[in-house]
Amino acid sequence: MALKTGEEYIESIRQLDLKIYLFGERVENPTEHPILRPSLNAVKATYDLAQDPEFRDLATAESPYTGGRVNRFSHIHESTADLVNKVRMQRTLGQKTASCFQRCVGMDALNSVFSTTFDMDQANGSSYHAKFLDYLRYIQSNDLIVDGAMTDPKGDRSLPPHKQADPDMFVHVVERREDGIVVRGAKAHQTGASNSHEMIVMPTQTMTEADRDYAVTFAVPMDAEGIFMIVGRQSCDTRKTEGSPMDTGNPDFGGMEALIVFDDVFVPNDRIFMDGETEFSGLLVERFAGYHRQSYACKTGVADVLIGATALAADYNGVPKASHIKDKIVEMVHLNETIWASALACSYEGTATPSGNYMVDLLLANVNKQNVTRFPYEIVRLATDVAGGLMVTAP
């Protein structure tokens, strides 16, 4: 199948029977809901970019698994050039949407599970990697979006999964059948869940043998029986419904997160990529975390838009030449480019895994994460300082 257009993507989501709840009620048509539609538009931008000839090499790649060109968000990194193109694509999309475009976590899950299943098979003689390759071909051939699900509610964080008062604080296997497994639990903070076709579920931490039922990795359709999504609220989400001409960007693009509940969901054998291999749970988490900390390059694209808006606000206020205003904007640029430098560095320093795909430099990826836990907040503070009180207290 050819790469989907943005409109074809939206229609494909419209066809899913997603169980989404917002304000305590089921959302019957999430593709047209005024609070959810901006997040759908942001994901659509990832399909539009892949259709743009100017960004063909950035947003797509040749897949050795299908023999054709696929969206980079479903590509397995084959070189440091792929790692660099990944972050360049993320910054570009951040500039175009000024928001989260929600596909990074799935791309990072695909690459993490790819190498970890290979390592498991080498060590144990299992067949997880071959099953995963079949699944990867399905995703790439149909140009689908995968949501990567790692974070569990966790409950009492001083206790391991098997000692929780409520065993459903972590996703776990409750039944093993000849044809598959049944799972129960929840995943929290799931970015882009309502805009995805599929979901890869992974353990959230290193598991011990006592937590064998929690060391599980699998894939399910987002509209599988027993999956429910509860949309997370955002501070200004209802402003999207007001039609204010002042909120130019807010109704157009945005992000979304959800709590995903697994109410005895059946997973067939061909979609199980880890089941009890506790010794590989920590490795999978480490690899996913490394890839996803690299992915924070997206924040630089969003900050590019904010820096431009801040400069415009200074123009509106008549103070673009004031030295303290220029100093603040220079500092915003400095902080943003420092994030970008660490995202590029961990990509250029990537190395091949035994499976053949490329892994980022984990130390530098963690540096990028540390930068992102600090600098965007300071960038926003400076933007607020330059723009003035009207932006903060706007009616």
Q: Is residue 301 part of a domain?
A: yes
Residue 346's domain is classified under what CATH number?
A: 1.20.140.10
Separation CA 369–CA 363 (nearest Å): 10
Domain-terminating residue out of 251, 273, 295: 295
Say yes or no: 345 and 270 in one domain.
no
Separation CA 89–CA 72 (nearest Å): 9
Q: Is residue 200 part of a domain?
A: yes
Provide the whole-model pTM: 0.96
CA 11 to each of CA 14, 151, 263: distance values in angstroms, whole numbers, following the listed order = 5, 29, 27
Q: Is residue 1 part of a domain?
A: no
Question: Over the stretch 166-221, which tens digit does the pLDDT of each residue have?
Answer: 999 999 999 999 999 999 999 999 999 999 999 999 999 999 999 999 999 999 99
Predicted pLDDT of residue 120: 98
Question: Over the stretch 36-72, which tens digit does the pLDDT of each residue have?
Answer: 999 999 999 999 999 999 999 999 999 999 999 999 9
pLDDT level of residue 1 (50, 70, 90 thresholds): low
CA 336 to each of CA 191, 333, 358: distance values in angstroms, whole numbers, following the listed order = 23, 5, 26
pLDDT level of residue 242 (50, 70, 90 thresholds): confident
Q: Is residue 307 part of a domain?
A: yes
| Angle, vertex CA 355, rays to CA 298 and CA 86, nearest 5 | 15
DSSP state, 223?
T
- Say which residue the tokens 């949407």 belong to: 97
The number of folded domains in the chain is: 2
Domain-terminating residue out of 240, 272, 295: 295
Q: Nearest to residue 229, comparing CAs of 266, 189, 200?
A: 189
Say yes or no: 132 and 250 in one domain.
yes
Instruction: Give me 215's structure tokens.
Output: 């060391």
Residue 72's domain is classified under what CATH number?
A: 2.40.110.10
Instruction: Give the domain range for residue 362.
Output: 296-392
Instruction: Give me 225's structure tokens.
Output: 């029986």
